[in-house]
Amino acid sequence: MEWSPALIWLALALLLGLAELTSGALLLLALAIAATLTAAVATLEPSLAGQLLAMGAFSGVLVPLAVWKIRPWFSPRGVAYGTTGSGIEKGRRYTTLEREFDGATGIKINGDFYRLRVAHSSDTELPAGTPVIFERFDGTTAVVHLAPPAAPQDKEQ
């Protein structure tokens, strides 16, 4: 069997499609579709430069389409990707958690667990359920300070 340029592009598309199964970001899937379309162009027997130009054009259209338009359909509702670490969480109240497998103390921000460090000290462990206020990130560590106790709610009689 002779390997034609179209078969090589199809093999590349298959490999990219299989690699997408490990990432889930839809980037490799868009590249796989672009490689498949380039295989169709390769059947017209253009030069290698023409094939690469076709792959670049297809990728230039499909990658932004997949990342900006299609990927949000598969994201959980209410999660604004790209906001963690931008300062939007500053001043918010969180409750500490203890991670099961290693006993690390941390907080969950947008569903992700971050180990914590108490500001102005080197304490990295607090009892689970301790209310804290997020200040900033120091690398991947959430810097927090202890929250004041919540005021009891006045009940009307």
pLDDT in tens, the chain (157 residues): 788 999 999 999 999 999 998 887 789 999 999 999 999 999 999 999 999 999 999 999 999 998 888 877 776 665 555 556 666 788 889 999 998 888 888 999 888 899 999 998 888 888 899 999 999 888 888 899 988 876 665 555 4
- Domains of the chain plus CATH, in order, are 5-74 (no CATH), 93-146 (2.40.50)
Is this structure's pTM higher than 0.85?
no
Strand order in the sheet with 105-109: 93-95, 131-138, 141-146, 112-118, 105-109, 97-98
Q: What is the DSSP string of 39-81?
A: HHHHTT---HHHHHHHHHHHHHHHHHIIIIIIGGGGSPTT--T
